[in-house]
Every structure is written in C-alpha cells, then in structure tokens.
C-alpha cells in the first residue's frame, strides 16, 4: 500500500509522516542543485521534474516491497505543483502544458502511477503560518507563495477524489491507514479524465 500525505507548507504533513510513518517514509525532494530553470529552459525543466517524480515513485515501490507499505511526504506524481502555480499566475500556460505532456508520457510508459490513499491536510493558512513561525528547524522562504496555492491544491485533490473515489481524505488521521492496493495505479484513462475535469484557465 502506498499512502501520500499532502498539504501546503507548514500544514503538518512532515510531522505526521515522522510520527506515523517511521522507516516507511519516502521524503520529499526539496531543493535539487542543478535543476533547469522553468523560464530559461521550460522543456528541460519539464523533463527533469518528471524524472525526479519517477525516482520518488520507484523509491515508494521499493519501500512497499520491503515493508508492505510506503508513506510519501508529498505526492510523487507532483504535477499539481505547476498547475497550482499556473492557477495563481506564477507559472505560464506553456510551463503547465510541457509538464503535463512529460508527466502523461511517464504514466503511459508505466513508470509512475496513482497511490492507494491520499491524506490531504486541510490546514488553514493562519494555522500553517503559526506552525511555520514556531518551527525553527526549517526555513520557509516561500511560505507566502505556498499559502496562495492552498485553494488550487484542494481543488486538484477534489477532482482526483471524483475520478478515483474513496482514495482521498481531507484530513490527517490519528493513525496510519492500513490496507492494500485498491485498484489500478498506472491508469492513463483516469489521468486523462482528471485533467479534463480541471479548470484550464487562471
């Protein structure tokens, strides 16, 4: 079973993963040196991030094979990020289109897929801001930007819940969900259905 934990910055997702996931956690990428710039090289950036997402998906599969379940701190299929940026005017439609095409190909190739469960922290911005201020372990230079992404992030997973009903929970539960693979993971038809339901303009 692969569980994804999502939410805006300082929403509590990493704390929840550390508390409940233990050795099963697949950490988020964070900043990666040498990543292509979306403005200077949008095609290269789209291909680069699609490959990094595959890396995390493969890591999740490896943890699942070894232990029975994996807990991903943020979604390996992280196409939502550039879509959310586009929705708030911080990425171009070209950026979105290129990353969409690159990600769709990775699903068509069977290199990445959907998780079995999605736990989305529906933390309001002011609560997240307070949590960010008291967490001295992490610098959150882009907190305000990530806070602006909250409505779009929730919109993304609401659409996912329509396309793959029963997989999304808009809260972080008291305990780690248990179970098994709930259906097709590498589902190109479900991916296309989800993209078709998303608002396609800012």
In this prediction, residue 118 carries a pLDDT of 97
Q: How many domains does the chain have?
A: 1
In this prediction, residue 127 carries a pLDDT of 86
Q: Check which CATH number belongs to the domain holding 184 and give it.
A: 3.40.50.300
Domain-located, residue 51: yes
- Residue 34 is part of which domain span? 2-197
Domain-located, residue 151: yes
195 CB-side CA count, 13 A: 15
Give residue 181's Cα distance to chain centre.
19
Domain-located, residue 90: yes
86 CB-side CA count, 13 A: 21
Domain-located, residue 19: yes
Domain-located, residue 47: yes
Residues of the chain falling short of pLDDT 70? 136-140, 180-181, 201-202
Question: Do the beta carbons of residue 97 and residue 29 sit within 8 Å?
Answer: no
CA distance linking residue 99 with residue 109, whole number of Å: 15
CA distance linking residue 105 with residue 111, whole number of Å: 9
In this prediction, residue 138 carries a pLDDT of 66
Helix, strand, or coil (residue 70): strand
CA distance linking residue 124 with residue 69, whole number of Å: 29
Mean pLDDT of all residues in the chain? 91
Domain-located, residue 97: yes
**123: number of Cβ within 10 Å:** 20
Domain-located, residue 86: yes
In this prediction, residue 202 carries a pLDDT of 56
- Which of 167, 139, 158, 172 is closest to 7 using CA atoms? 172
In this prediction, residue 136 carries a pLDDT of 60
CA distance linking residue 85 with residue 115, whole number of Å: 23
In this prediction, residue 200 carries a pLDDT of 74
In this prediction, residue 129 carries a pLDDT of 84
In this prediction, residue 19 carries a pLDDT of 93
pTM of model > 0.75: yes
In this prediction, residue 81 carries a pLDDT of 94
Helix, strand, or coil (residue 136): coil
Domain-located, residue 202: no
Tens digit of pLDDT for each residue in 174-196? 898 877 667 789 999 999 999 99
């Amino acid at each position: 079973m692969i569980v994804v934990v999502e939410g805006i910055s300082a929403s509590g997702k990493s704390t929840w993963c550390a508390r409940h996931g233990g050795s099963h956690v697949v950490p988020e990428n964070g900043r990666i040196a040498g990543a292509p710039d979306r403005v200077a090289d949008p095609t290269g950036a789209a291909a680069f991030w699609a490959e990094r997402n595959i890396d995390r998906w493969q890591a999740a599969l490896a943890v699942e094979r070894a232990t029975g379940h994996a807990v991903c701190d943020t979604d390996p299929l992280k196409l939502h990020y550039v879509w959310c940026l586009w929705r708030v005017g911080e990425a171009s439609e070209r950026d979105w289109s290129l990353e969409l095409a690159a990600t769709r190909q990775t699903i068509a190739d069977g290199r990445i897929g959907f998780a079995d469960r999605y736990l989305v922290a529906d933390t309001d911005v002011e609560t997240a801001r307070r949590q960010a201020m008291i967490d001295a372990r992490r610098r959150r230079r882009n907190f305000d930007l990530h806070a602006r992404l909250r409505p779009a992030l929730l919109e993304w997973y609401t659409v996912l819940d329509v396309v793959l009903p029963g997989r999304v929970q808009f809260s972080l539960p008291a305990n780690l969900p248990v179970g098994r693979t709930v259906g097709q993971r590498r589902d190109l038809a479900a991916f296309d259905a989800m993209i078709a339901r998303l608002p396609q303009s800012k």
